[in-house]
């Protein structure tokens, strides 16, 4: 089966270029100097270079061949029409008919779509015993329709070959531009460990990192990888969008429709900046409270059940798992809110308002406008807003995998749980000092709708109150014991047989 693959590996290890890459000097250019002509084009590779075949002359094949040649392999391309496609490949690669291309190499990349695999059946005898690398990706519909992965289908067509699934997660663009600009990991699976080793070494030689995914049965999972589109972000994204639409409409009605209907004033100019800047902080603030609410619900449930060993309901489990995304969306909205707030004084509206106010003062002969309470209120709420955003930035930075990996569990949990909660408290104080007494003044109720900030305070206040309650020794102590493994029912179960035994003893006496 593996008749010449071992030879190709041993050849590979004698290759100077491959050996350099394998020794870990990944920073060196992938295309060795020795393989690049003075004009930048790819030169002839040494004759002893390990030979690899590529079937297909499309986008992926062209990028793959360029990288293979640059990594020191001798490549022969098999095309249905070599005359037409030869010019598309580096001069170092040999382009020929499919039947000629598969003769000598032991490893052959099938850079074609699944529906064309059967057109290779005529080459079955020549392909016998060789390694076929399946690089294909199904479309989303194909993936749902077909239970058998592309790689398993290829293996069923060529039972005398060893099929290895690899490279499907790497785009033609990444192959061409080099792994430093994109994803480095290449999941690999095959039923033949030796074939997997050969392809893994090729992956490494090309500057990528092989990830062993086990047997060919995993190919379906590997093929599903490039189909994913931000899977953990769908629900949090929809939640943020829903909140944005709700608060935008609410603020539109209060700040634009109400003055238009009641006083005939056109305040539609508020739509692009002012209404957005009243909406974004509300979304940020509510999302932030929704990050810490599931922890509170989990704690309440654990207290109620008297154990931590029972599963949370599915909705709570999913919510707990999506807190990172909800938190990052909250940070995103808060950062936009800060930017909008900094831009407010730049607008024409602000300039006209300042000039008009100055004129009004002159006309009413007022020389010094200074309301001490307003000054203090604004200084405090701005400072609290900046502090809250600073804390959130810290949380966002530590959520980067490279930073998170440099922290131990206690440090990460302190930043995420404790400092995150501090950010929620600071945001609440920022909102309260901004709103001040407005919640109690009739003129701020437009169309009977309360000021927006009052709506946003509900969930954060529940979270803060609940966290404060959990600090009480009667609740906090019990919660701490439950989280260390203590169980209410276990204590009862433990006590019952003892009592029973004691009762039996006394009855005997
Ligand atoms: C900008 C930003 C970035 C964020 N980045 C991240 C991030 O990178 N990673 C991340 O995880 N979160 C992130 N979050 C979300 C949030 O900060 C963390 O989830 C934080 O740990 C929540 O703290 P907590 O005190 O509510 O709950 P936790 O500290 O998670 O939990 C409190 C207690 O609840 C129980 N509990 C919690 N979850 C479970 C569970 N699934 N099963 C059983 N018991 C459970 C445990 O007993 C735990 O001791 C981010 C938030 C923001 C705002
Ligand atoms: N493009 C990417 O970024 C990317 C990324 C990962 C995986 N892939 C996978 O790589 C494979 C090729 O993708 P691609 O983008 O290179 O596609 P493509 O540009 O359409 O190339 C497919 C090639 O298949 C060959 N082929 C052989 N028999 C064929 C037939 N009967 N009918 C039509 N073509 C036939 C053709 O080469 P000849 O005419 O020379 O025979 C053609 O150039 C696919 O399975 C894809 O899922 C692509
Ligand atoms: C640099 C940081 C910040 C600055 C400069 C800032 C500034 C402001 C300003 C100027 C307003 C008044 C907006 C208006 O006139 O409509 C405001 C309101 C508000 N801010 Fe911030 N803020 C910051 C951070 C935050 C953060 C981190 C949050 C919460 C996550 C937040 C939540 C709110 C809320 C809820 C309101 C009330 C919105 C309303 O109902 O009108 N802010 N902030």
258-273 per-position pLDDT tens digit: 999 999 999 999 999 9
For residue 433, report the distance from its CA to the centre of ligand 1, in Å.
Answer: 28
* Atom number, ligand 1, closest to the C-alpha of residue 404: 8
* Atom number, ligand 2, closest to the C-alpha of residue 138: 47
> What residues are in contact with ligand 1 under a 6 Å CB criterion?
288, 291-292, 295, 298-299, 320, 323-324, 327-328, 330-331, 392, 395-396, 399, 413, 416-417, 420, 483
Asked if residue 455 lies in contact with residue 282, where contact means CB atoms within 8 angstroms, the answer is: yes
The first and second tokens of residue 270, run together, are 């508020």
pLDDT at site 147 = 85
CA 449 to chain centre: 38
Ligand nearest 454 Cα, by number? Answer: 3
Higher local confidence (pLDDT), 489 or 83: 83
Whether 508 has a pLDDT exceeding 70, the answer reads no
For residue 64, report the distance from its CA to the centre of ligand 2, in Å.
Answer: 12
Beta pairing class for 185-190 and 162-165: antiparallel
Q: Whose CA is nearest to atom 22 of ligand 3?
A: 385
* Atom number, ligand 1, closest to the C-alpha of residue 292: 26
pLDDT at site 429 = 98
Domain ranges of the chain: 51-227, 233-484
pLDDT at site 5 = 38
Q: Whose CA is nearest to atom 30 of ligand 2?
A: 116
Residues 6+ apart with CB under 8 A from 180: 207
Q: Whose CA is nearest to atom 33 of ligand 2?
A: 116
Cβ–ligand 3 contact at 251 (below 6 Å):
no
pLDDT at site 177 = 79
Ligand nearest 463 Cα, by number? Answer: 1
Strand-pair partners of 413: none
- For tokens 């931000």, what's the residue? 230
105-147 per-position pLDDT tens digit: 999 999 999 999 999 999 999 999 999 999 999 999 999 888 8
CATH architecture observed for domain 51-227: 3-Layer(aba) Sandwich (3.40)
Kindly report the CATH number that applies to the domain delimited by 233-484: 1.20.120
297-307 per-position pLDDT tens digit: 999 999 999 99
- For tokens 């936009």, what's the residue? 336
What b/e string do you get for 82-102 counting C-beta neighbours within 10 Å, with b at 16 or more? Answer: beebbebbbebbbbbebeebb
39-87 per-position pLDDT tens digit: 445 545 445 678 999 999 999 999 999 999 999 999 999 999 999 999 9
pLDDT at site 151 = 98
pLDDT at site 238 = 97
Question: Which pLDDT band holds residue 231 (cuts at 50, 70, 90)?
Answer: confident
For residue 412, report the distance from its CA to the centre of ligand 1, in Å.
Answer: 10
**92-106, 311-325, 365-379, 414-428: least confidently modelled range:** 365-379
pLDDT at site 492 = 52
Q: Could you tell me the pTM of the whole model?
A: 0.78
pLDDT at site 92 = 96
**Would you tell me how many other CB atoms lie within 10 Å of the CB of residue 249?**
13
State the average pLDDT for the chain. Answer: 88
pLDDT at site 229 = 84
Q: By C-alpha distance, which of 220, 224, 195 is closest to 210?
A: 195
- CA-based max dimension of the chain: 105
Higher local confidence (pLDDT), 342 or 496: 342
Asked if residue 461 lies in contact with residue 477, where contact means CB atoms within 8 angstroms, the answer is: no
């Amino acid at each position: 089966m593996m008749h010449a693959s071992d030879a190709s590996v041993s050849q590979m290890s004698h290759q100077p270029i491959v050996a350099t890459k394998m020794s870990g000097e990944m920073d060196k250019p992938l295309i060795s100097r020795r393989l690049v002509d003075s004009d930048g084009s790819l030169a002839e590779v040494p004759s002893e270079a390990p030979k690899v075949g590529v079937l297909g002359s499309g986008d992926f094949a062209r990028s793959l061949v360029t990288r293979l040649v640059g990594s020191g392999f001798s490549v022969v391309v098999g095309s249905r029409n070599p005359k037409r496609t030869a010019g598309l490949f580096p001069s170092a690669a040999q382009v020929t008919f499919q039947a000629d291309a598969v003769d000598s190499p032991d490893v052959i990349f099938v850079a074609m779509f699944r529906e064309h695999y059967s057109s290779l059946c005529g080459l079955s005898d020549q392909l016998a015993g060789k390694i076929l690398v399946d690089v294909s990706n199904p479309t989303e519909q194909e993936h749902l329709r077909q239970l058998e992965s592309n790689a398993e289908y290829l293996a069923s067509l060529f039972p005398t070959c060893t099929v290895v699934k690899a490279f499907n997660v790497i785009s033609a663009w990444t192959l061409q531009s080099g792994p430093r600009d994109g994803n480095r990991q290449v999941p690999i699976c095959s039923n033949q460990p030796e074939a997997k080793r050969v392809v893994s070494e090729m992956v490494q030689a090309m500057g990528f990192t092989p990830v062993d995914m086990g047997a060919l049965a995993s190919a379906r999972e590997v093929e599903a990888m490039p189909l994913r589109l931000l899977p953990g972000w769908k629900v949090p994204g929809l939640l943020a969008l829903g909140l944005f639409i709700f608060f935008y409409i609410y603020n539109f009605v209060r700040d634009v429709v109400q003055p238009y209907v009641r006083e005939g004033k056109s305040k539609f100019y508020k739509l692009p900046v002012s209404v957005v800047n009243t909406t974004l902080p509300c979304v940020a603030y509510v999302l932030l409270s929704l990050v810490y609410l599931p922890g509170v619900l989990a704690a309440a449930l654990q207290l109620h059940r008297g154990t931590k060993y029972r599963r949370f309901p599915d909705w709570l489990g999913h919510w707990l798992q999506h807190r990172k995304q909800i938190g990052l969306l909250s940070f995103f909205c808060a950062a936009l809110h800060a930017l909008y707030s900094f831009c407010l004084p730049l607008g024409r509206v602000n300039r006209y308002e300042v000039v008009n106010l100055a004129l009004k003062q002159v006309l009413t002969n007022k020389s010094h406008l200074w309301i001490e309470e307003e000054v203090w209120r604004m200084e405090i709420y701005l400072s609290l807003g900046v502090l809250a955003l600073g804390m959130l930035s810290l949380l966002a930075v530590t959520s980067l995998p490279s930073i998170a990996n440099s922290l131990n569990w206690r440090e990460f949990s302190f930043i995420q749980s404790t400092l995150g909660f501090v950010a929620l408290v600071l945001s609440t104080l920022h909102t309260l000092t901004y709103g001040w007494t407005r919640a109690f003044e009739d003129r701020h109720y437009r169309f009977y709708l309360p000021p927006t900030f009052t709506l946003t305070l509900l969930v954060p206040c529940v979270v803060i109150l609940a966290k404060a309650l959990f600090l009480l020794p009667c609740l906090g102590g019990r919660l701490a014991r439950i989280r260390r493994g203590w169980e209410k029912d276990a204590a009862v179960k433990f006590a019952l047989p003892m009592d029973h035994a004691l009762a039996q003893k006394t009855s005997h006496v």
